[in-house]
Amino acid sequence: MRRREFIVALGSAAAWPVAARGQQPEGMRRIGVLHTTASDDPEGKARNAAFVQGLAQFGWTDGGNVRIETRWAAGDAERIRRIVAELVTLAPDVIVATGSPTVGPLLQATRTVPIVFVYVADPVGAGFVDSLARPGGNATGFTNFEYGIGAKWLELLKQMVPGVTRIGVIRDPGITGGIGQFGAIQSVAPSFGVELTPINERDDAGEVERAIAAFGRGSGGGLIVTGSALANLQRNLIIRLAARYKLPAVYLARYFVADGGLMSYGPDPVDGFRRAASYVDRILKGEKPADLPVQAPTKNELVINLKTAKALGLQIPPTLFASADEVIE
């Protein structure tokens, strides 16, 4: 987009909310919500529904005493920037943001509008907050896991396939979480006797496909898929390639396994949006993000796809089967 066209578009976006605000019932609060997924993504819809239901439990109903402005970025960085400009112009009482790709641009755009983030791996390392206990700025929220979970992913993969010797770690090198998760796995790899290969995620799905294909041609391989917005958006491609090259893989969340992945270990991301509603409620009632500590998940779940295990010719070890929170058949 040319600079002049961008200014005109931004000016139009700025003018529209003024009219919209005039039509908004007096006393109604406004909440912005920015998802990284597409609007038709099942996981994205589940997250949004959980947030809306969570708000209702605190007495906030969309169209009643609050107006929820929901936007879907579909993993497009340029679209995220446009949505951020639009939401900030609306001057909402609070914005709920999914993942590091949305929080960074929001904090560049505003240091006054309260932000509640969900599914951010390392808010301190990314510079979003001063500390977990005292965020200190206009943002707080919920992390999706601690880096130490990477050791558990590797342990589970070795339990499932003791003979695995090569691990491809799918990560987003453009976020601190991607680097941190890989580092945590790397620190324990020697004790498990495995060689790690970073497989960097890109917006270009073809590049990701070529990297996984190149790794999959060797023997004794397996995959660990770390957390990122790109992993979520490209999950069907990753799952399909893992099946094609017979690569046992461990993922960060249940929805990967529901879509055909082998197994996952991590918190329920939908629950994070349910919990985010509690912080939005507190902010709407006058509390400041700076005083609300960043919260970590309270529980991790092990989920195994039995059909995928059989397709890979794997026998699930009894101890691993017994420790699973859910087995999908």
pLDDT digits 0-9 by tens, 281-317: 999 999 999 999 999 988 899 999 999 999 999 999 9
pLDDT tens-digit map of 105-124: 999 999 999 999 998 988 99
Q: Round to the nearest angstrom and report the end-to-end CA distance of the chain.
A: 48
Query: Could you tell me what percent of the chain has a pLDDT over 70?
Result: 92
pLDDT of residue 177: 80
Q: How large is the average pLDDT for residues 156-163?
A: 96
Residue 149 near residue 300, CB atoms below 8 Å: yes
Q: How far apart are CA 238 and CA 225, in angstroms?
A: 9
Per-residue pLDDT, 21: 39
Widest distance between CA atoms in the chain: 66
Element (H, E) at 195: strand 195-200
- Sheet with strand 166-171: strands edge to edge: 195-200, 166-171, 221-225, 249-251, 263-266, 301-305, 326-328
The continuous run of DSSP H or E covering 179 comes out as helix 176-192
| C-alpha triplet 315, 316, 322: angle, nearest 5° | 150
Q: Whose CA is closest to 91, among 104, 109, 71, 116?
A: 109
Q: Is the pLDDT reported for residue 205 higher than 90?
A: no
The strand pairing partners of 284, in sequence order, are none
Which residues lie closer than 8 Å to 245 by C-beta, 6 or more apart? 212, 213, 215, 216, 217, 221
Average model confidence (pLDDT) across the chain: 90
What is the model's pLDDT at position 41?
92
Strands 249-251 and 221-225: parallel
Architecture of domain 149-266+300-328: 3-Layer(aba) Sandwich (3.40)
Q: What sign does the dihedral 178-176-111-78 (CA atoms) show?
A: negative
Structure tokens at 208: 């990701």
Evaluate whether 3-144+269-291 and 149-266+300-328 have a shared fold.
Answer: yes
Q: Identify the CATH number of the domain defined by range 3-144+269-291.
A: 3.40.50.2300
- The mean pLDDT value for 269-290 works out to 96
Mean pLDDT of 161-182: 90
Give the mean model confidence (pLDDT) for residues 144-167. 93
261: Cβ–Cβ under 8 A, 6 or more apart, which residues? 225, 235, 238, 239, 242, 249, 251, 305, 308
- Give the model's pLDDT for residue 114: 98
| pLDDT at site 75 | 84
Beta strand 139-143 pairing with 94-98: unpaired
| pTM for the structure as a whole | 0.80
Domain boundaries, the chain: 3-144+269-291, 149-266+300-328
29 beta partners: 66
DSSP H or E run through 198? strand 195-200
The DSSP-derived string for 116-142 is EEEEES-TTTTTS-S-SS---SSEEEE
Strands 263-266, 301-305: pairing kind: antiparallel
Distance CA 54, CA 151 (A): 32
pLDDT over 80 (residue 9): no
| Mean pLDDT score, 251-272 | 93
